[in-house]
Amino acid sequence: MRSLVLIGHGSHLNGESAVAVYRYAELIRQRGLFDEVIEGYWKEEPSLRQVLRTTASTDVTVIPMFISEGYFTETVIPREMGLGHQGPVPPEGVARVIGGRTVRYTLPYGVHPSMTDVILARAREVLPDASPEDTALIVLGHGTTRNENSNKIVYQNADRIRESGQFAEVQALFLDEDPKVGTWPETVRSPRVVVVPFFASEGWHTLETIPEDMGLTGTVTDFPDNPHGHQQVFYAKPVGTHAAVADVILHLAEEASGAGGPGGDTERGHEAAWQAFLKGARAGLRIGEVLVTPELGVFELRNALDEGRPGGELTTLVTPEGVRDQVRFTDGGEHRPVHTLRNLPRGWRAVLSEADLRRAMHYVYPAVIEETYAHDCHALRPTPWATTARRQTGIYAKVQKATPAQVEHVAQDVCTGCLRTRLWAGQRLTHSFLDGVPGGIPCAEACTFVVAEVREEVSGKRGGGGH
């Protein structure tokens, strides 16, 4: 049995941030090569602190869904996941045994050599007859002062493509450092120029900054009066959103774990947690704001506030992904980075098999089944605020200055709206939803949403209503 975990950044504010990782997880799930594909996030749930506990096997491969190495892949992810590693990840990855699971952490997908094929695929999309006679390729990177590795990978890809002889010339240019993209008319000579952004996703840079810096007006732009004569620029979509990235992820995973290897076993604590939940579900159960009702061999999920409403008045969902997309936003359309906040949308019901019920519950309340069961078995260790604060780096290091009163002020504001009981602040949970108390859900450690709010509090920028 093998589990694959894809790690994304996520966002406290933007509900679309996690979508690319969801989509890749779906594509890889369809290939059936892993027994499960789980997503985890820095700023959403399941969080980096929780995600390993949500994996069903003892053989776990973790892939950071980032375009380059840097602060998140070398510092934040290994630290938060407890990998006992900091700094550059070696090409063979990092392997650790954590809580009975063998965990392999790989380089980010963007640095894999097969990304060269994705660049070429993007180039062909926008100019199918690109030729070594008259076409130049620009591989366009962000450029950063924070980490020179992100540029290294752009140069490596440009070198590989240059050596393949498929283009008359190949250049690596950057948005934020030399050689800058705006210099292209002086350095690129070919009459046809393909530009492929080496970016993770479509966004401000690919839609605005790059076109502005290059003078582009659409997918194809003519430049009749350039220093080297008339040139035509073909602007491709970013590499990170190409479906072939799924193949890159699988290459990485196979290299890390050994294709077709024996894999691991079912993780016993995880399975016991879900069996405890399913036992309750077969009898009918309320967990948080959700009602689980057995119905002739399937299960119905709905918001408990919709109890008794005729099914015809509710939107019926039939897949875990449908449930996931339904519960990502409040009734008012606001993003829900913390799923245990009491703002689950109403007006839907899901009808699911037992296998799909497990996946749907994972989406409704990520890590809640596993953490609650662990709590009930006295195996969930709380992390006090001081420990969480000490661990923070970068812009969040500032939370170390927060006074207990400031932390409590934020918690009173944010956590009061959450189902979880703050074990990290010394609160006690005597009964859980597994004992029939729907709101009995432990919080072992301050979530990143609260950490971010404490930072705002320390900075004096906090309005008091949360993000």
Residue of the chain from 358, 420, 455, 462 that contacts ligand SF4 (CB under 6 A): 420
Q: Min. distance of Cβ 344 from ligand SF4 in angstroms? A: 14
Residue of the chain from 415, 434, 452, 458 that contacts ligand SF4 (CB under 6 A): 415
Stretch that binds ligand SF4, among 55-63, 195-203, 255-263, 416-424 (CB under 6 A): 416-424
Applying CB under 6 A, the site for ligand SF4 has a residue count of 12
Residue of the chain from 246, 351, 443, 452 that contacts ligand SF4 (CB under 6 A): 443
38 near ligand SF4, rule: CB under 6 A = no
Which amino acid would we find at residue 453? E
Whose Cβ is closer to ligand SF4: residue 267's or residue 289's?
289
418 near ligand SF4, rule: CB under 6 A = yes
391 near ligand SF4, rule: CB under 6 A = no
402 near ligand SF4, rule: CB under 6 A = no
392 near ligand SF4, rule: CB under 6 A = no
Q: Min. distance of Cβ 44 from ligand SF4 in angstroms? A: 12
452 near ligand SF4, rule: CB under 6 A = no
344 near ligand SF4, rule: CB under 6 A = no
Q: Min. distance of Cβ 397 from ligand SF4 in angstroms? A: 19
Whose Cβ is closer to ligand SF4: residue 246's or residue 290's?
290
Whose Cβ is closer to ligand SF4: residue 263's or residue 382's?
382
Whose Cβ is closer to ligand SF4: residue 81's or residue 338's?
338
- Give the distance from CA 60 to its chain's centroid: 16
Whose Cβ is closer to ligand SF4: residue 151's or residue 372's?
372
- Which of 51, 213, 194, 49 has its CA nearest to residue 135? 194
Q: Min. distance of Cβ 449 from ligand SF4 in angstroms? A: 6
Residue of the chain from 256, 285, 414, 434 that contacts ligand SF4 (CB under 6 A): 414
Stretch that binds ligand SF4, among 87-95, 120-128, 234-242, 413-421 (CB under 6 A): 413-421
Strands 285-287 and 36-41: unpaired
458 near ligand SF4, rule: CB under 6 A = no
Residue of the chain from 324, 359, 422, 462 that contacts ligand SF4 (CB under 6 A): 422
Reduce the secondary structure of the chain to three states and give it as a string.
Answer: CCEEEEEECCCCCCCCCCHHHHHHHHHHHHHCCCCEEEEEECCCCCECCCHHHHCCECEEEEEECCCCCCHHHHHHHHHHCCCCCCCCCCCCCEEEEECCEEEEECCCHHHCCCHHHHHHHHHHHHCCCCCCCCEEEEEEECCCCCCCHHHHHHHHHHHHHHHHCCCCEEEEEECCCCCEHHHHHHHCCCCEEEEEECCCCCCHHHHHHHHHHHCCCCCEEEEEEECCEEEEEEECCCHHHCCCHHHHHHHHHHHHHCCCCCCCCECHHHHHHHHHHHHHHHHCEEECCEEEEEECCEEEEEEHHHCCCCHHHCEEECCHHHHHHHHCECCCCCECCCCCECCCCCCEEEEECHHHHHHHHHHHCCCHHHHHHHHHCCCCCCCCHHHHHHHCCHHHHHHHHCCHHHHHHHHHHHHHHECEEEHHHCCCCCCCHHHCCCCCEEECCCCHHHHHHHHHHHHCCCCCCCC
The residue behind tokens 């779906």 is: 26
Stretch that binds ligand SF4, among 34-42, 278-286, 393-401, 446-454 (CB under 6 A): 446-454
446 near ligand SF4, rule: CB under 6 A = yes
Residue 382: cis peptide before it, omega within 30 degrees of 0: no
Burial of 178 (0-12, 13-18, 19+ CB in 10 A): exposed
Q: Min. distance of Cβ 15 from ligand SF4 in angstroms? A: 18
Stretch that binds ligand SF4, among 99-107, 196-204, 392-400, 414-422 (CB under 6 A): 414-422
449 near ligand SF4, rule: CB under 6 A = yes
407 near ligand SF4, rule: CB under 6 A = no
340 near ligand SF4, rule: CB under 6 A = yes
Q: Min. distance of Cβ 441 from ligand SF4 in angstroms? A: 9
CA distance 232 to 338: 47
423 near ligand SF4, rule: CB under 6 A = no
Whose Cβ is closer to ligand SF4: residue 4's or residue 454's?
454
Q: Min. distance of Cβ 446 from ligand SF4 in angstroms? A: 5
The residue behind tokens 């449908």 is: 322
CA distance 250 to 260: 12
Q: Min. distance of Cβ 227 from ligand SF4 in angstroms? A: 57
The token pair at 93 is 């990855």
63 near ligand SF4, rule: CB under 6 A = no
- Contact set with ligand SF4 (CB under 6 A): 338, 340, 414-415, 418, 420, 422, 443, 446-447, 449-450
